[in-house]
């Protein structure tokens, strides 16, 4: 009997170990940070009704804490309209924190890694390890020349971005390792929404990716596709673009070694603007 119980305990330990190993493997596969490039964490501050961005570039050591004021207006994704940050923070309870973070990052034309309110275990551990002892540069967007006052038709005063933002965004959210990849990226719009390729190109440029061409191409299925040569299948830069944009991968043997093509599909438009 004692021997039988011993076997039961052993099997139980093995099963528990297998489950734990599976959970760890799942967390690893679902991670958003690659361990090399900039880690940007977006958080909804319900107390102050502001949005906060914490961002660290592991290579250069640059670390910023950017606060978006409550009265700043953001054009949200999914066709849900223009809202002040205070409203976006509240609406995160309804539409989810990822929707709120996607809206903020898309409006600012920057990539981000995770949202604090829904961060995976592996990314949470990575952020804890990366941010230990880091001295963040605090930037309150409200107190800079990157925003301007706008009076709405009903007489309310809100804040909007100035033309200076795009220049500053590249300084604040540039990823040194990503730039070192020296990829030559082409962005193609396969939808009937004008300006889509240029918008994505600006976002990638702010992250440190060199975009050489924007244009139009034939329609594709799905959200987006990232095309590269077989030699670039495991390239960290190509993997970052694929993961960040949630694209599928295709191989093209006629592409040069550093040449990467991104094709934007109708599902990307649905994410951005809602059903159409």
- pLDDT tens for the chain, residues 1 to 276: 555 555 555 555 555 554 444 444 455 456 789 999 999 999 999 999 999 999 999 999 999 999 999 999 999 999 999 999 999 999 999 999 999 999 999 999 999 999 999 999 999 999 999 999 999 999 999 999 999 999 989 889 999 999 999 999 999 999 999 999 999 999 999 999 999 999 999 999 999 999 999 999 999 989 999 999 999 988 999 999 999 999 999 999 999 999 999 999 999 999 998 754
Compute CA distances 167 → 112, 163, 173, whole Å: 18, 8, 11
* pTM, rounded to two decimals: 0.88
Task: Tell which of 168, 196, 225 closes a domain.
Answer: 168
Start-to-end Cα distance in the chain: 67
**Residue 264 belongs to a domain with what CATH number?**
3.30.70.2390
H/E stretch holding 228: strand 224-228
Q: By the 8 A CB rule, do 102 and 208 touch?
A: no
Distance CA 147, CA 108 (A): 12
How many domains, in total, are found in the chain? 2
In a domain, 20, yes or no: no
Distance CA 209, CA 118 (A): 27
Compute CA distances 19 → 8, 26, 115, 196, 270, whole Å: 16, 10, 27, 43, 37
**Residue 98 belongs to a domain with what CATH number?**
3.30.420.590
Give the domain extent around 193.
181-273
Task: Tell which of 134, 168, 202 closes a domain.
Answer: 168
Residue closest to 178 by CA, chosen among 1, 46, 58, 13: 58
For residues 48 and 124, state if they share a domain: yes
Secondary structure (3-state) at 238: helix
For residues 48 and 163, state if they share a domain: yes
């Amino acid at each position: 009997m004692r021997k039988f119980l011993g076997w039961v305990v052993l099997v139980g330990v093995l099963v528990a170990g297998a489950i734990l190993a599976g959970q760890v493997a799942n967390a690893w596969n679902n991670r958003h940070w690659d361990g090399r490039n900039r880690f940007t964490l977006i958080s909804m501050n319900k107390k102050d009704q502001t949005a906060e961005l914490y961002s660290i570039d592991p290579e250069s050591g640059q670390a910023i804490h950017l606060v978006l004021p409550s009265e700043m207006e953001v054009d949200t994704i999914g066709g849900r309209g223009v809202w002040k940050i205070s409203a976006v923070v509240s609406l995160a309870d309804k539409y989810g924190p990822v929707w709120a973070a996607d809206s903020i990052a898309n409006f600012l034309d920057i990539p981000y890694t995770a949202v604090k309110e829904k961060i995976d275990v592996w990314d949470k551990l990575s952020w804890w390890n990366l941010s230990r002892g880091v001295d963040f540069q605090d930037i309150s967007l409200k107190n800079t020349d990157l925003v301007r006052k706008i009076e709405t038709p009903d007489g309310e005063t809100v804040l909007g971005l100035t033309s200076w933002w795009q220049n500053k965004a590249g300084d604040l959210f540039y990823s040194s390792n990503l730039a070192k990849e020296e990829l030559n990226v082409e962005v193609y719009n396969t939808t009937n929404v004008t300006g889509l390729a240029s918008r994505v190109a600006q976002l990638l440029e702010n992250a440190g990716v060199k975009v050489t061409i924007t244009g139009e191409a034939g329609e594709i299925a799905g959200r987006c596709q990232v095309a590269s040569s077989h030699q670039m299948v495991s390239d960290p830069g190509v993997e970052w673009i694929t993961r960040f944009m949630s694209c599928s991968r295709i191989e093209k043997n006629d592409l040069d070694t550093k040449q990467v093509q991104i094709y934007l599909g109708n599902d990307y438009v649905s994410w951005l603007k809602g059903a159409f």
